């Protein structure tokens, strides 16, 4: 019998890569996306798109009746800045929408593994050693990070009290083809577009702030692993939370230089005043994902940036 997967946010940047990975493995794949940021052209060939919002009864009905073997939940309000200006909206989507799906899984009575796309950098904050390990203290500094951590706690509740099979993946900064210029990781898409237009790249402050950039294809493999491997029973929340990154810190300045190298063009980099409250360093340890999921990233940063640049160059030609 063909196994079934539901990808919320499946018409989005990361979700479309995840959908392709499941289709390659022979799954029947449904996508749940309201197309607020997802795009129809991102819908993987062979997948079925349901244009629904994760906060609605119709989305809950799809989950209850779908008999899915796995749900990869990527649909979210992803703009950290909007979470600051409108935390109620952020919570309604990121907490309320996630609860809507979790409760629908509970009501379905089906043995569904629920894989949640959480966040690495926004959960740990600036006061833990780098690279951050899953069990380290959490100090989210934005409503977005608070919402993601809250959903992890709710998942722990549903797992312990109702027996749901839940996994959280804490992404570092994901980049790759189809990326939208939103959030911190959106800097790769922004830089690609500016290079193609012949514009200079703008770096805030000295550009030495670091991030851990992980390729979308590697993230898709992590989702598939989290959905399919046998995992240890959950004794505490962090047992089922996994960092997904590279452990490699790359400064924004080095990222800009690498993108110019990928594009085969001379660097043209300018500086603007530093942004208040910006994380100085961010990187995640991945030993736990290696051990339990059998996952490691495979895409070298320069190769991934080259593939991303070529995608944007092709989409604008």
Which positions are catalytic? 144
Contact between 144 and 77 under an 8 Å Cβ cutoff? The reply is yes
Of 78, 70, 122, the C-alpha closest to 97 is: 78
Query: Parallel, antiparallel, or unpaired for β 165-171 and 48-51?
Result: unpaired
Residues composing the chain: 317
Instruction: Name the packing angle between helices 187-196 and 252-263 (round to 10°).
Output: 40
Q: How far, in Å, CA of 95 to CA of 92, rounded?
A: 6
Of 230, 218, 217, 246, the C-alpha closest to 293 is: 230
């Amino acid at each position: 019998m063909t196994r079934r997967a539901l990808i919320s946010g499946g018409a989005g940047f990361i979700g479309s890569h995840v959908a392709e990975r499941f289709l390659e493995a022979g799954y029947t794949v449904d996508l749940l996306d309201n197309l607020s940021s997802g795009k129809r052209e991102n819908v993987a060939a062979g997948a079925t798109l349901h244009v629904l919002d994760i906060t609605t009864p119709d989305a809950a009905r799809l989950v209850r009746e779908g008999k899915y073997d796995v749900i990869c939940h990527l649909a979210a309000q992803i703009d950290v800045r909007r979470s600051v200006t409108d935390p109620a909206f952020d919570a309604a989507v990121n907490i309320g929408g996630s609860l809507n799906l979790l409760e629908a899984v509970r009501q379905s009575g089906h043995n569904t593994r629920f894989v949640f796309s959480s966040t690495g950098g926004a959960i740990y904050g600036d006061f833990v050693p780098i690279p951050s390990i899953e069990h380290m203290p959490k100090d989210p500094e934005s409503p977005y990070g608070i919402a993601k951590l809250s959903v992890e706690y709710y998942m722990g509740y549903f797992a312990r009290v109702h027996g749901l099979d839940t996994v959280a993946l804490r992404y570092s900064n994901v980049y790759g083809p189809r990326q939208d210029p939103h959030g911190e990781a959106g800097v790769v898409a922004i830089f690609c577009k500016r290079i193609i237009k012949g514009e200079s790249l703008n770096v805030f402050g000295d550009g030495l702030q670091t991030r851990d950039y992980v390729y979308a294809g590697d993230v898709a493999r992590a989702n598939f692993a989290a959905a399919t491997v046998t995992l240890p029973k959950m004794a505490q929340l962090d047992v089922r939370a996994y960092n997904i990154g590279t452990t490699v810190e790359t400064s924004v300045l080095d990222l800009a230089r690498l993108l110019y190298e990928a594009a085969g063009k001379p660097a043209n980099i300018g500086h603007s005043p530093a942004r208040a409250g910006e994380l100085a360093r961010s990187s995640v340890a991945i030993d736990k994902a290696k051990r339990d999921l059998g996952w490691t990233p495979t895409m070298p940063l320069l190769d991934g940036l080259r593939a991303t640049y070529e995608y944007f160059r092709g989409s604008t030609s």
